[in-house]
Amino acid sequence: MKIKYIAAVLIAIAGLGLQQAKADFIFNLTVPNSGISGFPGPYATVDVHLVDPTHATISFTSLTNGGNIYLFGGVNAVDVNVNATTWTIGSFVATNSGIGFTPGPLSDGGAGNVDGFGVLNQTVNSFDGFTHTSNFISFGLTNTSGTWLSDTTVLVANNQGVFAAAHIFVTTFPANASNSALATGFAANGGSTVPDGGTTVMLLGAALGALGMARRFLMS
């Protein structure tokens, strides 16, 4: 009976660990090309969420820095390098919390050469023009050639080390369509975050504590 009790406790801890350790793959676009190099990054945050082994949602959220906001728009508005042989794209969403904007519409741009960052195999185009820019864009991917094991396997770096990029329109914060873009250019990732290491340490400590309690229980 004691062994069954201990096994149940350890299984519960392991299940909790797997649940808490799971996290979206989140990283910033921090590297500009020459078009926006005079404006400080980071420019946007990218969130890769694995819904299930064949479905993922990618979200781009613009950031503000130095009194400016970095909006997405035009050809190659947001772009990723998908880790799959074949896939489909859909469920486009584009919003702008600024004044006077009509975001999108968005469309599948296929593979494209993103200025300064090489070819990315999935681009998304937005209807051209500053007044159609967005501060949030998301879309869904469906893997039709295999499965993704985790959020971090949905994308893969191209030959320049780029997972994602965006066509940036720099404008004064808060965004107003009656203003103009101060500059346009592209930005790509320069780093990434992974599931919180503190959570892993905490769960390891809990497991070791449970083992100690189990040992005392067996010896009693």
**Along the chain (220 residues), what's the average pLDDT of each consecutive run of 10 residues?**
46 43 85 95 98 98 97 98 98 98 97 94 96 98 98 96 97 96 93 37 43 47
> What is the pLDDT, as a whole number, of residue 219?
47
| C-beta pairs of 6-14 under 8 Å, 24+ apart in sequence | 6/214, 6/217, 6/218, 9/210, 9/214, 10/207, 10/210, 10/211, 10/214, 13/203, 13/206, 13/207, 13/210, 14/207
Q: What is the pLDDT of residue 7?
A: 44
The model's pTM is 0.78
Residue-level pLDDT at 190 = 64
b/e burial code for range 118-150 (CB count within 10 A of at least 16 → b): bebbbbbbbbeebebbbbbbbbbbebeeeebee
Element of type H or E holding 199: helix 197-219
- Angle of the 2-21 helix axis to the 197-219 helix axis, nearest 10: 180
Ranges assigned E (strand) in the chain: 25-32, 44-52, 55-62, 64-65, 68-72, 78-80, 87-95, 106-114, 118-126, 136-143, 164-172, 183-189
Mapped onto helix, strand or coil, the DSSP state of residue 212 is: helix
Amino acid letter for position 68 = N
Alpha-carbon gap, residue 148 to 27, rounded angstroms: 18
Question: Dihedrals φ, ψ of 174, to 5°?
Answer: -80, 150
* Sequence-ordered list of residues with C-beta below 8 angstroms from that of 98, at least 6 positions apart, any chain: 69, 71, 135, 174, 175, 176, 177
pLDDT given at position 116: 87
**CA distance readout (Å), 200 to 3, 6, 45:** 26, 21, 24
Cα 81 → chain centroid: 12
